Structure 1
Amino acid sequence: MKRKTRSMKTKQFIANSIVHVFLSVLGFVWVLPVFFVILTSFREEGGAYKSYIIPRGYTLNNYKKLFEQTSSLNYSRWFINTLFVAICTCLLSAFFVLSIAYVMSRLRFKLRKRLLNVAMILGMFPGFMSMIAVYYILKGFGFLEAGPLKLVALIMVYSGGAGLVFYVAKGFFDTIPKTIDEAAFIDGATKWDVFLKITIPLSKPIIVITLLQSFMGPWVDYIFAKVILGQDRKYYTIAIGLWSMLEKEFIEYYYTQFFAGCVLISIPIAIIFLVTQRFYVEGVSGAVKG
């Protein structure tokens, strides 16, 4: 028995060691690009390609130069544009998603199952497939004539398609007992009262995950933003602005500043994830149970 116990412990130790080594290698591979971005953002030597990874000198000028407004660089304005679009999209998308999810979870009506199937099928197609059609629709309505209207159009595009991504929220709402709704109806509450005063307060995790996902989409999107905003640099978002710094005529001068800009825009997302991590896990687990 002692030999069997020792052999089992030895096998378990070997298996755990292999798993830990494998995870360590994966962790190193994942951290290496992040490490490279941070080091390059502090690199004192200019220019794009270098034959070494560790900088020979360090400086904060790359971060300072980001906020020096020039004809080709307006980082602070790009940041404000992105923040405005992300916040507006976040609020509108969350309202659309939560409203549709509540209707599909709680109400029963004709064609409900067919609508669920259609939404699931449409959700399988990437959004950029409709990019050209959306562009000409917005152009026909005059939203691409001026810079401020382009930002409004961008918010409409991001928010308009958010309603299809309601399955996770619906799964969470399904876990809330319907007897609570029935008790509220007996007391004279309307469906809006139940949604606003009962369901929403009980759904903080899924609200947080919906807000987070709605915020991140505009923050990192490049394709739709580039198509709608065009060449108007004043109204660029962060993603387009950073990419424009890598154009042939700018890359040698803005290369290290590009990495500094990448570090700065990652900080808000990292903070939000750390603060909302608990709600994020609860929201996903609740949806899976539903």
Structure 2
Amino acid sequence: MNAKKIRRITFQTFGYFILGVTAIFCVYPALWVLMSSFRPGDSLYGETLIPTAFTLIHYEELFVKYPFIQWYGNTLKISILSMMIGTMLVLMTGYVLSMFRFKGRKNLMSTLLVLGLFPGFMSMIAIYVLLNQMNLLNTHAAVIIVSAAGAPLFFLYSKSYFDTIPRSLIEAARIDGAGHLGIFFGIVMPLSKPLLVFAVLMNFTGPFTDFIFSKLVLRTSEKKTLAVGLYDMMTDKTKSQFTMFAAGCVLIAVPITLLFLFLQRYLIEGLTSGAEKG
């Protein structure tokens, strides 16, 4: 066995070792929360990872003691509406910046890219004041508007994907008399299924898992989302209910996990297809 082959085997072994360690660090916390949701009692810690006895009482109490179904409905409502509006905004922004050439285009793209680099919480005080003046505090509309309005800041992946679509198709459609909306919905979107799936998932999971802004805006129990409701449940100083919190985390994670597993092929295509042309 020559030195080159030994070096290659060594690097591969080291790479598999790093991947294995990373997988353990990623999987263990999720497995720990899952097992905790079935552990009797309400303790944060357990003697073993796998409980000696299993119970479903925490899942039952989650629906009996708290308006968990209402929190779930609020979260789905905000996520679905934000996803619909945000997806259209980010796709149309990417389409315009990809297909059209106009004065100030590069400056606009640079501005959007720079704004997208700033953490969202830096503008929360200003947004809070604006929502207060518009009488939108403690409303789902406030979260939907802000979530959807921030979507165009991440236009780059949609623009990069649209750059790969042959211009000959667009020009042929214009010669046939198609308008901009007709070209966008009739030609571009059918060719952009991976991008559409990626945009839908990203604009859905963002509001679905958002906590900071929802906590700032939503105050009353009937308006809370899952993240805010579970946080308030854990910070209740009169009760210690970690296992019930773990059960809520599992119920939140299951649909998102299944959705990602089902659409992961389209996610990978949507991320990599735009890499051919900038």
Same fold, judged at TM 0.5 (above): yes
Q: Report percent identity of matched pairs.
A: 38
C-alpha displacement of 1:19: 2.2
TM-score (norm 2): 0.95
Rounded Cα–Cα distance in structure 2 between residues aligned with 1:143 and 1:258: 30
1:76 corresponds to = 69
- Counterpart of 1:238 (choices 226, 233, 257) is 226
1:282 corresponds to = 269
1:20 corresponds to = 16
Q: Deviations over 1:162-182 (max 9, x none)?
A: 112111000000000111000
- Counterpart of 1:104 (choices 97, 109, 125) is 97
Tell me the matched-pair count.
277
Rounded Cα–Cα distance in structure 2 between residues aligned with 1:98 and 1:22: 37
C-alpha displacement of 1:50: 4.2
Query: Do the aligned residues in 1 keep the contact of 2:74 with 2:223 (CA within 8 Å)?
Result: yes
Query: Do the aligned residues in 1 keep the contact of 2:140 with 2:223 (CA within 8 Å)?
Result: yes
Query: Which AA in structure 1 matches 2:90?
Result: V
- Counterpart of 2:122 (choices 110, 116, 129) is 129
Query: Which AA in structure 1 matches 2:230?
Result: L
Rounded Cα–Cα distance in structure 2 between residues aligned with 1:46 and 1:183: 66
Q: Which has the larger radius of gyration?
A: 1
Query: Which AA in structure 2 matches 1:123?
Result: G
> Which structure 2 residues correspond to residues 160-171 of structure 1 after superposition, within 5 A?
160-171=149-160
- Counterpart of 1:201 (choices 190, 202, 212) is 190
Query: Do the aligned residues in 1 keep the contact of 2:42 with 2:244 (CA within 8 Å)?
Result: no
Q: Deviations over 1:149-171 (max 9, x none)?
A: x1011101101111121110000
Rounded Cα–Cα distance in structure 2 between residues aligned with 1:13 and 1:45: 49
- Counterpart of 1:30 (choices 26, 33, 37) is 26
2:259 corresponds to = 272
CA RMSD after TM alignment: 1.5
Query: Which AA in structure 1 matches 2:255?
Result: P
Q: Deviations over 1:228-282 (max 9, x none)?
A: 112x111110111111111142541x21010001011001111111111111111
Query: Do the aligned residues in 2 keep the contact of 1:45 with 1:56 (CA within 8 Å)?
Result: no
- Range that drifts further, 85-94 or 275-284: 275-284
C-alpha displacement of 1:46: 2.4
- Range that drifts further, 154-163 or 242-251: 242-251
Query: Do the aligned residues in 1 keep the contact of 2:44 with 2:243 (CA within 8 Å)?
Result: yes
Query: Do the aligned residues in 2 keep the contact of 1:38 with 1:259 (CA within 8 Å)?
Result: yes
Query: Do the aligned residues in 1 keep the contact of 2:75 with 2:226 (CA within 8 Å)?
Result: yes
Q: Structure 1 residue 224 and structure 2 residue 207: aligned?
A: no
Query: Do the aligned residues in 2 keep the contact of 1:100 with 1:163 (CA within 8 Å)?
Result: yes
TM-score (norm 1): 0.91
Q: Structure 1: state its 5+ residue gaps.
A: none
